[in-house]
Amino acid sequence: LLSLGTGTTSEFDKTHTAEETAKWGALQWMLVIQQMTEAASSYMTDYYLSTVFQDLHSQNNYLRVQENALTGTTTKADDASEANMELLAQVGENLLKKPVSKDNPETYEEALKRFAKSLSDRKKLRANKASY
C-alpha cells in the first residue's frame, strides 16, 4: 500500500501566548480545532495502517509519503500558479532525500525504488503464472 499525503504545515510547532489566544475569536478557534482534528486523523490512520502491516510481518508492503513541514504558499491547495507549482516540485525533490522515519533511515527515494521493484516483480510473477 502506497499512501500519498497532501502534506501538513508546521503550524503546530508554533507556540502562542495566552495574550494572543485571548484575542482569538470563534472562527480562529474553529480553524485551530479543525486543523488539529485533521492532523490527528491523518496521524492515526497512518499509525493504524503501519501497525497492521507490522503485525502481519508485511511492513515492507506499506509506505506513507508525507511532507510535514509545508510553509507559505505551498500550504494553499487553491494556488496553482507556476511559481507555487515549482515550489511544490522542489518540496517533493527535497522530500525524496529525507529519511522515511526516525526508526527507518532509508530515504523516500530508496523506499520508492524498492516499492516499485517489488510491484514490478509481483506483476512479472503473475504474468508468468498466467502463461502456464
Q: What is the pLDDT of residue 10?
A: 60
Q: For residue 14, what pLDDT band results from cuts at 50, 70 and 90?
A: low
Q: Which residue has the cell 496521524?
A: 43
Neighbours of 8 (CB within 10 A): 18
Q: What is the pLDDT of residue 47?
A: 83
Q: What is the pTM (predicted TM-score) of this model?
A: 0.68
Indicate the domain borders of the chain.
2-130
Q: For residue 12, what pLDDT band results from cuts at 50, 70 and 90?
A: low
- 90-110: per-residue pLDDT in tens? 999 999 999 998 888 999 999
Question: Residue 13 pLDDT > 60, yes or no?
Answer: no
Mean of per-residue pLDDT scores for the chain? 85
Q: For residue 129, what pLDDT band results from cuts at 50, 70 and 90?
A: confident
Q: Nearest to residue 66, comparing CAs of 2, 108, 7?
A: 7
CA 112 – CA 115 distance, rounded (Å): 5
Sign of CA dihedral 67, 74, 5, 125: negative
Sign of CA dihedral 112, 116, 119, 125: negative
